[in-house]
Amino acid sequence: MEYFKSLSLNKKIAAILGSLLVAGITFILILDFLVMPYYTNYNEGVTVPDVTKISLEEAEEQLERIGLRHEVLDRRANSVYPANYIIDQSPSAKQIVKPNRKIYLTVNTAVTPQTVVPDVVNMSLRNAEIQLENHGLEVGTRSYESSRFRNTILRQSVAAGDTVSRGTVINLAVSDGLGSRLVTVPDIQGMRLTEAERALTGVGLRVGEIRFQPSLEYEPNRVINFTPNENELNEGQSLLLIVSERVDAREEVESGAIIDDSTTTSNNNRNFQNEDN
């Protein structure tokens, strides 16, 4: 008897669990195929029109007509477009987006916008680039100099706090991480120029200016001397190299072209012969 009661109870529990499972699956299907598509506008999209090269007013009308919003993200000066014309847009044309999506516009302005140059000295190179770009400035050349902290900005070409036009190029002097220790200068006197350059860079020194000097003692392209001529220098320091060249190399340049006057000599000889006859 107890066995049948237990079996009946297990069937009821199984039926309840089965019902809950079916209800759960049904709920998920309804949510997936009915509720969520309605909530997210499933299968409903808007093709983004191309609003570049038209006025801001025209772009606003086009976007509002098809149910899209807009926001002026940036203003730039571009001589190719009239004032208040759209230079760029995001998302770009022909993309399919959901209704009421915001389209970001870049608008041309007749007057170049101004911006204040941020102070990026002592920042990392990456952070400095981000700061300058956020202020509408462009990063120009990056020249490396010896200093202790690698990839740290040492100087900027335009002083912080100056008001300049957006798009102004800012050049940066960046630390190479050298200069914190003394290195022994290799004996490069008499070396070939290429060998001397490798020897110097191998110990962390730089080759700066190279001057050529005629020499009878050294064959061409040998290091005659260098400055500063010290046993030890700060890591990253540049040296001026005096390099040998052929003695006649400079004489040929200074003397100019050699004129072949054989024709003139031959003509003179003919004239003398005619006079004798």
Best CA proximity match to 104, nearest among 138, 130, 68: 68
Does residue 6 carry a pLDDT above 70? no
Detail the DSSP E strand segments found in 1-148.
46-47, 69-76, 86-90, 96-97, 102-108, 114-116, 138-145
Mean pLDDT of 43-58: 90
Output the CA torsion 125→131→137→138 (10° steps).
20
* Tens-digit pLDDT profile for residues 202-231: 998 889 899 999 999 999 999 999 999 989
pLDDT-based confidence at residue 270 (cuts at 50, 70, 90): very low
Detail the DSSP E strand segments found in the chain.
46-47, 69-76, 86-90, 96-97, 102-108, 114-116, 138-145, 153-156, 163-165, 169-175, 182-184, 206-214, 223-227, 232-234, 238-245
* Tens-digit pLDDT profile for residues 120-165: 999 999 999 999 999 989 999 999 887 778 899 999 999 999 999 8
Residue 68 CB-density burial (10 A; 0-12 exposed, 13-18 middle, 19+ buried): buried
Q: What is the pTM of this model?
A: 0.43
* Tens-digit pLDDT profile for residues 164-197: 988 899 999 998 877 667 889 999 999 999 999 9
51 vs 54: CA distance, rounded Å = 6
- Residue type for 190, please? G
Count of beta carbons in the 10 Å neighbourhood of residue 130: 14
